[in-house]
Amino acid sequence: GQSLEQPSEVTAVEGAIVQINCTYQTSGFYGLSWYQQHDGGAPTFLSYNALDGLEETGRFSSFLSRSDSYGYLLLQELQMKDSASYFCAGNTGGFKTIFGAGTRLFVKA
């Protein structure tokens, strides 16, 4: 079946760097997205990788390796407000996006 696997929880300290990994098993894979969701809020788009390599957007970067069916989200200079759930999502073609179960990030002072 099609699935995306990511760790359930990650804890890091303020100012540090954290990497959230995502491995996927999908057919017809077109690219990998990342979304952030705060408690009680809607998921918001962070990034999309269609090609292998690193995409950088401010403090957040996302990486994709198609040959390894693997990607990650890198968060730098962590802030307390970064405490949230982060979802990787695979674009499997057409209108279908498959989401991982989410990684809960706890940022400590």
Partner 1 sequence: ETGVTQTPRHLVMGMTNKKSLKCEQHLGHNAMYWYKQSAKKPLELMFVYNFKEQTENNSVPSRFSPECPNSSHLFLHLHTLQPEDSALYLCASSLRPQTSGGADNEQFFGPGTRLTVL
Positions touching partner 1 (CB under 8 A) are 4, 8, 30-31, 33, 35, 41-45, 48, 50, 87, 89, 91, 93-102
- Find the shortest distance in angstroms from Cβ 16 to partner 1: 25
- Find the shortest distance in angstroms from Cβ 72 to partner 1: 18
- Find the shortest distance in angstroms from Cβ 81 to partner 1: 17
Q: Looking at beta carbons only, is 95 or 109 nearer to partner 1?
A: 95
The span from the CA of 87 to the CA of 46, in Å, is 10
- Joined tokens for residue 82: 């970064």
Q: Looking at beta carbons only, is 30 or 70 nearer to partner 1?
A: 30
Tell me whether residue 34 is exposed, middle or buried, using C-beta atoms within 10 angstroms of its C-beta: 0 to 12, 13 to 18, 19 or more: buried
> Nearest to residue 47, comparing CAs of 36, 37, 39, 81?
36
